[in-house]
């Protein structure tokens, strides 16, 4: 049986690896981006010189041949679902028995005049990185449009090369659709500390041409003009499925899949960034463009294809990011503003960029999620607390158990519990001190 996988990102590659582990089917992974799987999340580090492209490949090149996973650098232009055939841009065709679509995302562009000029780009693919590197030296001032995770990465990248960076954010505060006010404001402040010119509630109207097809500036909605040699468009991504539109395949924003990641066509499956879940698992959105969900989908689909029909179960939500120097982890659900019947306990260090917010239900006090900035926490422990609907007070007295900071790092559990006691008139006491090296050294 020939299993064709379009897309050699984390989703497609995970599917291939797990299919290979438990079967002898022919497996072919097709992608037109790079010959080998690399980690998209590390694009910024290549530009900043922390790593070379080679370092971002999670597997050495010999791995694929040894594991009999065929890699094909081709661009799929058309899928003939009736005849189970792919057509590549070079005219070749490729017959499959089962097809896995893992085509990822593309950066959004909202139809701004000038959005296709030279030195205007998003940051998603390896080609985007190459483009940026090719004209990096021409950039003195860069404008970044859109305040999300990729926007702040792009800002950090350009700043690391000494560029003037102007960061335009439509909202009143950075990423405030996701982050509660205090978190968002702390990041605003941190962005300014890095001498990145953050301009909130600012939107562009037009990108200006220098007459030779290069960007020379942006015009804002208030008609003012910023001169710049680069515009980064980081206003989100959408499923990369344009070549699948107007086929038998059911799509909306993304490729529609059921809980088994099956599409409306037999023997055709979809995973990763490009899917839209018809019945998203509890606590999950229909589109979730996250690294590990692609991985879980890859493992799930491999089981299903090999006869062990398995539902996609990503479990308690979690995610992490780094905003310049501030690490962020989140477990469970912490909405930007508490919904009915829930509330937040939040603690912030007066001296450092450290913040913890625990979200819980008013009636049972059961925790639903946590945001932690500047303090690393254990996924396993939080997952368990959230699944078991542990009360916030129980969590707080055991908070040390969740601490995942390196040895000798300053502990804040005591400060946190004191803040809670003060706010809620409680008298909780910490139960667990960290064990291990610390217990002996301290």
Partner 1 sequence: MKNTGIFLILTALVLWIALLFGNTYKLTPEILLETASQEHADLLRPKLEDLFDQEHSNVFSFSSSIKNAITEVNKELDAEGKSDQKIYDTYELSLTKAAGDGLVSNNKGLLFGLVFSLLVLGALMFILPDLNLLPGIKNDGIFHHPGTSVKWLGIILGALLIIFYILLYFFPHFIANWIIVLDPLSNFMNGNKASQWFLYGFLYTIAVLVMGIRMLVKYRHSKYQMIRTGSVMFFQLIFAFMIPEILTKLNMPSADLKNMWPLDYSFFFDYRIDQKIEAGTLGIFMFVWGIILFAVGVPVLTYFYGKRWYCSWVCGCGGLAETLGDPFRQLSNKSLKAWKIERWMIHAVLVFAVIMTIGVIYTYMSGNSAIFGVIDTGTLRYYYGFAIGSIFSGVVGTGFYPLMGNRVWCRFGCPLAAYLGIVQRFKSRFRITTNGGQCISCGNCSTYCEQGIDVRWYAQRGQDIVRSSCVGCGVCSAVCPRGVLNLENGPEASRNI
Ligand X SMILES: Cc1cc2nc3c(=O)[nH]c(=O)nc-3n(C[C@H](O)[C@H](O)[C@H](O)COP(=O)(O)OP(=O)(O)OC[C@H]3O[C@@H](n4cnc5c(N)ncnc54)[C@H](O)[C@@H]3O)c2cc1C
Return the sign of the alpha-carbon dihedral for residues 57, 58, 62, 64.
negative
| Alpha-carbon gap, residue 279 to 259, rounded angstroms | 7
Answer for which of 81, 260, 292, 424 binds partner 1 (CB under 8 A) is: 292
**Per residue in 42-73, is it b (16+ CB within 10 Å) or e — as a string?**
bbbbbbeeeeeeeebbeeeeeebeeeebebbe
3 state DSSP class of 417: helix
User: Are 281 and 314 a contacting pair, CB within 8 Å?
Assistant: yes
Looking from the CA of 66 toward its CB, the CA atoms found within 13 Å total 5
Restricting to residues 189-248, which ones interact with partner 1 according to CB under 8 A? 193-194
Per-residue contact flags (x/-) with ligand X for residues 305 to 324, judged by CB under 6 A: ----------------x---
Q: Which does 76 bind (CB under 5 to 8 A by kind): ligand X, partner 1, none?
A: ligand X
Please, which residue, 157 or 241, has the CB nearer to partner 1?
A: 157
Looking from the CA of 109 toward its CB, the CA atoms found within 13 Å total 18
User: Are 386 and 360 a contacting pair, CB within 8 Å?
Assistant: no
Answer for which of 121, 329, 348, 390 binds partner 1 (CB under 8 A) is: 329
Nearest approach, Cβ of residue 326 and ligand X (Å): 14
Per-residue contact flags (x/-) with ligand X for residues 64 to 103, judged by CB under 6 A: -----------xx-------------------------xx
Nearest approach, Cβ of residue 327 and partner 1 (Å): 5
Restricting to residues 25-84, which ones interact with partner 1 according to CB under 8 A? 39, 41-42, 45, 48-52, 55-58, 60
Answer for which of 26, 182, 267, 327 binds partner 1 (CB under 8 A) is: 327
Judged by CB under 6 A, the stretch of 6-14, 53-61, 328-336, 357-365 that binds ligand X is 6-14
Using CB under 6 A as the binding rule, whether residue 152 contacts ligand X is answered as no
User: Are 165 and 155 a contacting pair, CB within 8 Å?
Assistant: yes
Judged by CB under 8 A, the stretch of 177-185, 206-214, 374-382, 420-428 that binds partner 1 is 374-382
* Residue with smallest beta-carbon separation from ligand X: 104
- The token duo for 49 is 């010189």
Distance spanning both ends of the chain, measured CA to CA: 60
Please, which residue, 104 or 114, has the CB nearer to partner 1?
A: 104
User: Are 41 and 136 a contacting pair, CB within 8 Å?
Assistant: no
Answer for which of 92, 130, 138, 325 binds partner 1 (CB under 8 A) is: 325
| Alpha-carbon gap, residue 304 to 309, rounded angstroms | 4
- The token duo for 119 is 């030195």
| Alpha-carbon gap, residue 224 to 107, rounded angstroms | 26
| Alpha-carbon gap, residue 217 to 224, rounded angstroms | 10
Answer for which of 141, 349, 383, 391 binds partner 1 (CB under 8 A) is: 383
By the criterion CB under 8 A, which residues form the site for partner 1? 10, 39, 41-42, 45, 48-52, 55-58, 60, 160, 193-194, 291-292, 295-296, 318, 320-322, 324-325, 327, 329, 376, 378-380, 383, 404-410, 435-437, 440
By the criterion CB under 6 A, which residues form the site for ligand X? 6-12, 30-33, 40-41, 43, 75-76, 102-105, 123-124, 150, 153, 240, 243, 272-273, 289-291, 294, 321
């Amino acid at each position: 049986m020939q299993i064709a996988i379009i897309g050699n990102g984390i989703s497609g590659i995970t599917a291939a690896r797990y299919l290979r582990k438990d079967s002898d089917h022919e497996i072919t992974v097709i992608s037109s981006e790079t010959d080998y799987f690399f980690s998209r999340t590390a694009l910024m580090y290549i530009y900043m010189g922390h790593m070379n492209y080679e370092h971002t490949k999670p597997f050495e090149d010999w791995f694929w041949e040894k594991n009999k996973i065929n890699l094909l650098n081709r661009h799929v232009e058309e899928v003939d679902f009736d005849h189970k055939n792919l057509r590549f841009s070079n005219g070749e065709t490729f017959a499959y028995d089962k097809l896995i679509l893992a085509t990822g995302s593309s950066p959004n562009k909202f139809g701004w005049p000038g959005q296709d000029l030279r030195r205007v780009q998003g940051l998603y693919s390896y080609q985007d990185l190459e483009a940026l590197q090719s004209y990096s030296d021409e950039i003195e001032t860069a404008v970044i449009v859109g305040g999300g995770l990729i926007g702040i990465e792009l800002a950090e990248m350009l700043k690391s090369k000494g560029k003037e960076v102007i960061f335009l954010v439509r909202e009143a505060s950075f990423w405030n659709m996701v982050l509660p006010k205090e978190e968002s404001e702390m990041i605003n402040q941190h962005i300014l500390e890095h001498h990145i010119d953050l301009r909130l509630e600012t939107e562009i109207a037009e990108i200006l041409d220098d007459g030779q097809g290069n960007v020379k500036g942006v015009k804002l909605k208030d008609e003012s003009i910023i001169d710049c040699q680069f515009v980064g468009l980081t206003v989100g991504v959408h499923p990369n499925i344009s070549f699948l539109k107007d086929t038998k395949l059911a799509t909306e924003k993304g490729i529609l899949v059921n809980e088994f990641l099956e599409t409306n066509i037999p023997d055709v499956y979809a995973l990763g960034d490009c899917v839209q879940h018809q019945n998203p698992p509890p606590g999950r959105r229909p589109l979730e463009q996250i690294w590990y969900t692609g991985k879980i989908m890859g493992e799930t689909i491999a089981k299903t294809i090999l006869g062990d029909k398995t539902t996609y179960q990503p479990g308690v939500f979690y995610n992490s990011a780094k905003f310049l120097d501030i690490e962020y982890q989140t477990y469970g659900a912490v909405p930007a503003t508490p919904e009915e019947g829930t509330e937040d306990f939040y603690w912030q260090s007066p001296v450092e960029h450290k913040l913890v917010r625990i979200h819980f239900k008013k009636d049972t006090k059961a925790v639903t999620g946590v945001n932690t900035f500047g303090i690393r926490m254990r996924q396993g422990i939080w997952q368990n607390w959230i699944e078991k609907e542990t009360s916030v007070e129980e969590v707080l007295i055991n908070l040390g158990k969740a601490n995942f900071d390196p040895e000798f790092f300053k502990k804040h559990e005591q400060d946190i519990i004191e803040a809670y006691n003060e706010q809620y008139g409680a008298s909780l006491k910490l139960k667990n001190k960290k064990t291990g090296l610390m217990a002996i050294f301290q």
